[in-house]
Structure 1
Protein backbone atom coordinates (compact mmCIF):
# COMPACT_ATOMS: atom_id res chain seq x y z
CA UNK A 1 0.00 0.00 0.00
CA UNK A 2 1.32 3.44 -0.89
CA UNK A 3 2.23 5.76 1.94
CA UNK A 4 2.37 9.56 1.76
CA UNK A 5 6.15 9.52 1.92
CA UNK A 6 6.31 7.03 -0.95
CA UNK A 7 3.97 9.18 -3.05
CA UNK A 8 6.06 12.27 -2.31
CA UNK A 9 9.20 10.42 -3.39
CA UNK A 10 7.56 9.28 -6.62
CA UNK A 11 6.45 12.81 -7.43
CA UNK A 12 9.94 14.12 -6.68
CA UNK A 13 11.39 11.56 -9.10
CA UNK A 14 8.94 12.60 -11.79
CA UNK A 15 9.90 16.23 -11.30
CA UNK A 16 13.53 15.25 -11.70
CA UNK A 17 12.70 13.76 -15.11
CA UNK A 18 11.73 17.13 -16.50
CA UNK A 19 8.04 17.48 -15.75
CA UNK A 20 8.78 20.11 -13.11
CA UNK A 21 11.35 21.83 -15.30
CA UNK A 22 8.96 22.76 -18.11
CA UNK A 23 8.01 26.08 -16.52
CA UNK A 24 11.56 27.06 -15.60
CA UNK A 25 13.85 29.16 -17.73
CA UNK A 26 15.86 26.86 -20.06
CA UNK A 27 19.60 26.53 -19.67
CA UNK A 28 21.84 28.42 -22.08
CA UNK A 29 22.89 25.33 -24.05
CA UNK A 30 19.48 23.64 -24.16
CA UNK A 31 17.51 26.01 -26.36
CA UNK A 32 16.17 25.02 -29.73
CA UNK A 33 15.64 27.15 -32.81
CA UNK A 34 12.48 28.70 -31.36
CA UNK A 35 14.14 29.73 -28.11
CA UNK A 36 12.18 27.24 -25.97
CA UNK A 37 13.34 24.22 -24.07
CA UNK A 38 14.82 21.47 -26.23
CA UNK A 39 12.12 18.80 -26.36
CA UNK A 40 14.51 16.07 -27.42
CA UNK A 41 16.71 16.83 -24.40
CA UNK A 42 13.70 16.53 -22.08
CA UNK A 43 12.73 13.21 -23.66
CA UNK A 44 16.30 11.95 -23.43
CA UNK A 45 16.44 12.87 -19.76
CA UNK A 46 13.13 11.08 -19.15
CA UNK A 47 14.39 7.96 -20.91
CA UNK A 48 17.64 7.99 -18.94
CA UNK A 49 15.77 8.44 -15.68
CA UNK A 50 13.40 5.57 -16.48
CA UNK A 51 16.31 3.29 -17.37
CA UNK A 52 18.10 4.26 -14.15
CA UNK A 53 14.99 3.45 -12.11
CA UNK A 54 14.88 0.01 -13.75
CA UNK A 55 18.56 -0.59 -13.01
CA UNK A 56 18.03 0.44 -9.39
CA UNK A 57 15.11 -1.99 -9.07
CA UNK A 58 17.25 -4.78 -10.56
CA UNK A 59 20.11 -4.05 -8.15
CA UNK A 60 17.74 -4.05 -5.16
CA UNK A 61 16.24 -7.36 -6.29
CA UNK A 62 19.70 -8.92 -6.55
CA UNK A 63 20.60 -7.55 -3.10
CA UNK A 64 17.53 -9.17 -1.54
CA UNK A 65 18.32 -12.46 -3.25
CA UNK A 66 21.81 -12.29 -1.73
CA UNK A 67 20.36 -11.41 1.68
CA UNK A 68 21.92 -7.93 1.85
CA UNK A 69 18.79 -5.77 1.59
CA UNK A 70 15.29 -5.46 2.93
CA UNK A 71 12.21 -6.46 0.93
CA UNK A 72 10.70 -3.02 1.54
CA UNK A 73 13.58 -1.45 -0.41
CA UNK A 74 12.85 -3.74 -3.36
CA UNK A 75 9.15 -2.95 -3.33
CA UNK A 76 9.91 0.77 -3.23
CA UNK A 77 12.42 0.56 -6.09
CA UNK A 78 10.07 -1.52 -8.24
CA UNK A 79 7.18 0.89 -7.57
CA UNK A 80 9.36 3.87 -8.52
CA UNK A 81 10.38 2.08 -11.71
CA UNK A 82 6.76 1.30 -12.51
CA UNK A 83 5.78 4.95 -11.95
CA UNK A 84 8.57 6.14 -14.24
CA UNK A 85 7.49 3.71 -16.97
CA UNK A 86 3.83 4.74 -16.66
CA UNK A 87 4.83 8.40 -16.93
CA UNK A 88 6.95 7.71 -19.99
CA UNK A 89 4.11 5.79 -21.65
CA UNK A 90 1.70 8.65 -20.92
CA UNK A 91 4.08 11.15 -22.52
CA UNK A 92 4.50 8.87 -25.53
CA UNK A 93 0.73 8.60 -25.92
CA UNK A 94 0.36 12.40 -25.79
CA UNK A 95 3.09 12.86 -28.41
CA UNK A 96 1.44 10.34 -30.72
CA UNK A 97 -1.98 11.98 -30.23
CA UNK A 98 -0.49 15.40 -31.02
CA UNK A 99 1.19 14.03 -34.15
CA UNK A 100 -2.04 12.42 -35.33
CA UNK A 101 -3.93 15.67 -34.75
CA UNK A 102 -1.36 17.63 -36.73
CA UNK A 103 -1.59 15.13 -39.57
CA UNK A 104 -5.38 15.59 -39.70
CA UNK A 105 -5.07 19.37 -40.15
CA UNK A 106 -5.84 20.67 -43.62
CA UNK A 107 -2.95 22.27 -45.43
Structure 2
Protein backbone atom coordinates (compact mmCIF):
# COMPACT_ATOMS: atom_id res chain seq x y z
CA UNK A 1 0.00 0.00 0.00
CA UNK A 2 1.43 3.40 -0.97
CA UNK A 3 2.47 5.72 1.81
CA UNK A 4 1.63 9.40 2.14
CA UNK A 5 5.16 10.31 1.04
CA UNK A 6 4.75 8.19 -2.09
CA UNK A 7 1.42 9.84 -2.86
CA UNK A 8 2.97 13.29 -2.41
CA UNK A 9 5.83 12.33 -4.70
CA UNK A 10 3.43 11.02 -7.34
CA UNK A 11 1.43 14.24 -7.15
CA UNK A 12 4.62 16.29 -7.59
CA UNK A 13 5.60 14.15 -10.58
CA UNK A 14 2.20 14.73 -12.18
CA UNK A 15 2.59 18.47 -11.67
CA UNK A 16 5.90 18.31 -13.58
CA UNK A 17 4.53 16.37 -16.56
CA UNK A 18 3.68 19.56 -18.42
CA UNK A 19 7.22 20.84 -18.23
CA UNK A 20 9.77 19.49 -20.64
CA UNK A 21 12.38 18.87 -17.97
CA UNK A 22 11.14 18.94 -14.35
CA UNK A 23 14.65 19.57 -12.98
CA UNK A 24 15.24 22.53 -15.28
CA UNK A 25 14.23 26.08 -14.54
CA UNK A 26 11.46 27.58 -16.68
CA UNK A 27 12.74 28.84 -20.02
CA UNK A 28 13.88 32.43 -20.19
CA UNK A 29 11.74 34.76 -22.31
CA UNK A 30 14.55 35.11 -24.85
CA UNK A 31 14.81 31.34 -25.34
CA UNK A 32 14.15 30.39 -28.94
CA UNK A 33 11.93 27.74 -30.41
CA UNK A 34 14.91 25.50 -31.10
CA UNK A 35 15.90 25.59 -27.44
CA UNK A 36 12.32 24.78 -26.44
CA UNK A 37 12.24 21.75 -28.72
CA UNK A 38 15.68 20.62 -27.54
CA UNK A 39 14.63 20.83 -23.89
CA UNK A 40 11.42 18.92 -24.65
CA UNK A 41 13.42 16.16 -26.32
CA UNK A 42 15.81 16.07 -23.36
CA UNK A 43 12.81 15.79 -21.02
CA UNK A 44 11.41 12.84 -22.97
CA UNK A 45 14.80 11.17 -22.95
CA UNK A 46 15.15 11.70 -19.19
CA UNK A 47 11.68 10.29 -18.56
CA UNK A 48 12.56 7.23 -20.64
CA UNK A 49 15.77 6.70 -18.70
CA UNK A 50 13.92 6.97 -15.38
CA UNK A 51 11.48 4.32 -16.59
CA UNK A 52 14.34 2.03 -17.61
CA UNK A 53 16.08 2.55 -14.27
CA UNK A 54 12.89 1.68 -12.40
CA UNK A 55 12.44 -1.48 -14.50
CA UNK A 56 16.01 -2.55 -13.71
CA UNK A 57 15.45 -1.81 -10.02
CA UNK A 58 12.26 -3.89 -9.85
CA UNK A 59 14.08 -6.72 -11.63
CA UNK A 60 16.72 -6.60 -8.90
CA UNK A 61 14.02 -6.49 -6.21
CA UNK A 62 14.90 -2.95 -5.09
CA UNK A 63 11.78 -1.12 -6.29
CA UNK A 64 8.02 -1.44 -6.24
CA UNK A 65 6.01 -2.24 -9.37
CA UNK A 66 3.93 0.90 -8.77
CA UNK A 67 7.07 3.00 -9.21
CA UNK A 68 7.76 1.29 -12.54
CA UNK A 69 4.22 1.84 -13.78
CA UNK A 70 4.36 5.50 -12.76
CA UNK A 71 7.72 6.06 -14.47
CA UNK A 72 6.62 4.30 -17.67
CA UNK A 73 3.33 6.21 -17.74
CA UNK A 74 5.23 9.50 -17.33
CA UNK A 75 7.56 8.54 -20.16
CA UNK A 76 4.64 7.57 -22.40
CA UNK A 77 2.81 10.82 -21.68
CA UNK A 78 5.91 12.89 -22.41
CA UNK A 79 6.45 11.08 -25.71
CA UNK A 80 2.80 11.47 -26.74
CA UNK A 81 2.97 15.18 -25.96
CA UNK A 82 6.13 15.59 -28.02
CA UNK A 83 4.58 13.75 -30.97
CA UNK A 84 1.43 15.89 -30.76
CA UNK A 85 3.53 19.07 -30.81
CA UNK A 86 5.51 17.74 -33.77
CA UNK A 87 2.29 17.01 -35.65
CA UNK A 88 1.00 20.53 -34.97
CA UNK A 89 4.25 22.11 -36.16
CA UNK A 90 4.16 20.08 -39.37
CA UNK A 91 0.52 21.02 -39.92
CA UNK A 92 1.30 24.70 -39.40
CA UNK A 93 4.24 24.47 -41.81
CA UNK A 94 2.02 22.85 -44.46
CA UNK A 95 -0.59 25.60 -43.99
CA UNK A 96 2.06 28.27 -44.46
CA UNK A 97 3.37 26.57 -47.59
CA UNK A 98 -0.17 26.52 -49.09
CA UNK A 99 -0.60 30.27 -48.59
CA UNK A 100 -0.49 32.37 -51.71
CA UNK A 101 1.89 35.28 -51.79
Question: 1:12 Cα deviation (Å)?
Answer: 1.9
The answer on whether the counterparts of 2:20 and 2:41 sit within 8 Å (CA) in structure 1 is no
- Counterpart pick for 1:99 among 86, 89, 93: 93
Q: What is the match of residue 44 of structure 1? A: 38
4+ runs deviating over 6 angstroms:
none
Aligned residues: 91
Q: Which structure 1 residue ranges, 5 or more long, are not aligned?
A: 32-36
- Counterpart pick for 1:88 among 68, 82, 90: 82
CA RMSD of aligned residues (A): 2.3
CA distance, structure 2, for counterparts of residue 66 and residue 48 of structure 1: 27
CA distance, structure 2, for counterparts of residue 9 and residue 72 of structure 1: 13
Q: Which structure 2 residue ranges, 5 or more long, are not aligned?
A: 1-6
- CA offsets 1:32-90 (integer angstroms, 9 cap, x no match): xxxxx400000000000000000000000010011110001000000000110011011
TM-score (norm 1): 0.74
Q: What is the match of residue 16 of structure 2? A: 12
